[in-house]
Amino acid sequence: MSDNMSKNISGFGEKADSNGNEFLAFTLGKEEYGIDILKVQEIRGYEAVTRIANSPDFIKGVVNLRGIIVPIVDMRIKFQLGEPTYDQFTVVIILNISGRVVGMVVDSVSDVITLLPEQIKPAPEMGTTFDSDYLIGLGTLDERMLILVDIDKLMSSADMGLIEKLAA
């Protein structure tokens, strides 16, 4: 029963068992976000990127990740969340979105939390920075509230321009 619940609410239920889902919690500006831990390949510090000419601001450029060319996206610029600073605490979350590797710059990464399905509430249809299409819901853990992002959907969206649209 609880399995079904989680499917209905979160929209992804493969890993939903009684132990709940694990989310990587990170901060962007003043807000705390969570993404499915299974999409995360690794977490790295921010290093110099190679700028790609004439690309949008939030695409910082590309880096060499052990021989693979990986684009780096700065979420703070994309969603206008505070002033982007790059220091030794700046973190890049390397995501693996259906085989494509993308780096995402965030302010910091806090921890991995487990949320039971009943701790995930549907997101209200209102003004979060993220379009509610890209949200799984809001997670609550004690006093914390995490905005759970469907990172798959977000990164694949035309909005991000990371993946070439199929030529007509």
Partner 1 sequence: MTIDMSQFFQVFFDEAEEGLAEMEKLLLAVDVSDPDDEDLNAIFRAAHSIKGGSATFGLTDIAEITHVLESLLDRIRQGKMALTSQHVDAFLAVKDTLKSMLDGHRHGTAVDLEAVGDVRKLLLSLSEADQKPVVAVVAAVEAPSLPAIVIRYRIELPRLAARDMEALERELGLLGKIQKSMAADGGCVFILDTAQTTESIVEICSFLVNADEFKISLADDAISKEEQQGYGFFAPFVPQGASDEERGYGFFEPFVPLASTDLAKSAVVAAVPVEAEDAPVLAVTENHLEKKAKGEKPAAAAVQETSSIRVGIEKVDQLINLVGELVITQAMIEQRTSTLDPMAHEHLLNSVGQLTRNTRDLQEAVMSIRMMPMDYVFSRFPRMVRDLAAKLGKRVEFVTHGAATELDKGLIERIVDPLTHLVRNSIDHGIELPDIRLAGGKTDFGTLLLSAEHQGGNIIIEVTDDGGGLHREKILAKAKQQGMAVSDSASDGEVWQLIFEPGFSTAEQVTDVSGRGVGMDVVKRNILAMGGAVDIRSSKGFGTTISISLPLTLAILDGMSIRIGHETYILPLGYVVESLQPASEDIKDISGQGRVIKVRGEYLPLIPLYQIFNIESTFTDPSQGLVVILESDGKKAALFVDDLIGQQQIVVKNLESNYRKVAGISGATILGDGGVALIVDVAALLRSSRQLSDESVFS
Q: Which residues contact partner 1 (rule: CB under 8 A)? A: 48-55, 61-64, 67-71, 100-102, 161-164
Query: Whole-number minimum distance, CB 49 to partner 1, in Å?
Result: 8
Let me know the angle formed at the C-alpha of 97 by 151 and 163, rounded to the nearest 5 degrees.
95
Query: Whole-number minimum distance, CB 157 to partner 1, in Å?
Result: 13
Q: What is the CA radius of gyration of the chain?
A: 16
Pairing of strands 40-45, 91-97: antiparallel
Q: Which is nearer to partner 1, 72 or 106 (CB)?
A: 72
Query: Whole-number minimum distance, CB 39 to partner 1, in Å?
Result: 14
Tell me how far apart the alpha carbons of residues 44 and 68 are, in angstroms, rounded to a whole number.
15
Q: Which residue has the tokens 């509430």?
A: 121
Q: Which is nearer to partner 1, 70 or 154 (CB)?
A: 70
Q: Which is nearer to partner 1, 19 or 54 (CB)?
A: 54
Q: Which is nearer to partner 1, 73 or 149 (CB)?
A: 73
Tell me how far apart the alpha carbons of residues 84 and 76 are, in angstroms, rounded to a whole number.
6
Tell me how far apart the alpha carbons of residues 21 and 82 are, in angstroms, rounded to a whole number.
29
Query: Whole-number minimum distance, CB 136 to partner 1, in Å?
Result: 24
